[in-house]
Amino acid sequence: MKATIAQYYAGDSLLHRLDPRAKFVAVSALAVALFVRDSFAALAVYAAAAALAYVLSGVPVAWFWRAFRPLLWLVALTFVAQIVFAPGEPFFSFWFIDLSRRGLELAAYLSLRLVVLVLVGSVLTLTTPSMALTDGLAWLGRPLRRLRVPTDELALMVTIALRFIPTLLVELDTIMRAQRARGADFRRGGLRERMRSLVPVLVPLFVLSFRRADELALAMEARCYQPGAVRTRLHPLRAGRADAALLATTAAIIVTGLLV
């Protein structure tokens, strides 16, 4: 019940309605562009575009914050590492820390770039259901099928895995509660003790997962699933004018970023 890791925010914004393939291509292109040129001006252009996308998505700030919070450490680490290790003429020295103008600039630039990257990436995952995303990726990966890569099967695997993550988390929670009711304590003791205390949780969880996988495989076969067979889709992906507009806008943003 408490386990909400699926980041998708159900909504009906312009960005929600766009084709997942177009969104994925746009976000990937922007992510690459972010690393092509080191300039504050370019970063400002991309940051503005990311902020605009965020506003258009209609997702509450709290949701972005939840997606962003786990990465805060990474941003902080980047910032500190740059300040400490960046070259340049120090204007302030203490112990092994040399603060330089260049170092501060670099720290600010790299941290900001990371923030923009996360922002762009989370706009994609927050406005696209995981199933649509895997469908889109499967379509984009189709050329690989010539190399005998089973892209559709891989996509289905990813879809199923994503689908069962929340279920598994709920089950994990239930098993932990049941063992706690029998006196288990997952917070006490050293590392070894804590690892041992997980055995009563992990064994039932694995048994349950294997059983579920078996049942799911049987149920899929009973409903005529055949690996390798060409599957049609209930909701075929359809790209329209809005998607073309997205790609054109993204291209324009990237060009602007390269020129400023």
Partner 1 sequence: MSGFQAVAGALPGAPGGPDAPGAAGMSLACGHVSFSYEEARAPIPAVRDVSFELRAGGSLALMGASGSGKSTLLQVVRGLDAPESGAVLLDGAAPTDAGYAALQREVGLVFQAPELQLFASTARDDVAFGPRRLGWPEERVTSAVDTALDVVGLPPARFAERHPYALSGGEQRRLALAGVLAMRPRLLLLDEPFVSLDPGTRRQLVEILHRLKAAGVTLLLATHDVDLAWALCDELLVLGEGRLVAAGPWDFSPDGGRLLAANRLREPFFVELWRRLGRDPQRAPRNAAEAAEALS
Which residues are at the interface with partner 1 (CB under 8 A)? 1-2, 4, 63, 66, 174-175, 177-185, 199-201, 203-204, 207-208
Nearest CB to partner 1, comparing residues 182 and 241: 182
Looking at beta carbons only, is 208 or 239 nearer to partner 1?
A: 208
Task: Provide, rounded to whole angstroms, the least separation between the CB of residue 113 and partner 1.
Answer: 28
Whole-number minimum distance, CB 218 to partner 1, in Å?
18
CA–CA distance, 107 with 86 (Å, rounded to integer): 8
**182 vs 233 by CB, closer to partner 1:** 182
Question: Shortest approach of partner 1 to residue 253 CB, angstroms?
Answer: 31
Nearer to partner 1, 209 or 256 (CB): 209
Query: Residue 33: exposed, middle, or buried by beta-carbon count in 10 A (0-12, 13-18, 19+)?
Result: buried
Angle at 119 between CA 236 and CA 117, to 5 degrees: 100
Looking at the Cβ atoms of 4 and 232, the one nearer to partner 1 is 4
Strand runs labelled E in the chain: 90-94, 97-100
Give the whole-angstrom CA distance, residue 152 versus residue 141. 9
CA-based R_g, the chain, Å:
23
Q: How far apart (Å, rounded) are the C-alpha atoms in residues 54 and 60?
A: 9
Contact 127, 23 (CB under 8 A): yes
Q: How far is the CB of 149 from partner 1 (least distance, A)?
A: 36
- CA–CA–CA angle 144, 146, 150 (5° rounding): 60
CB of 1 to partner 1, least distance (A): 5
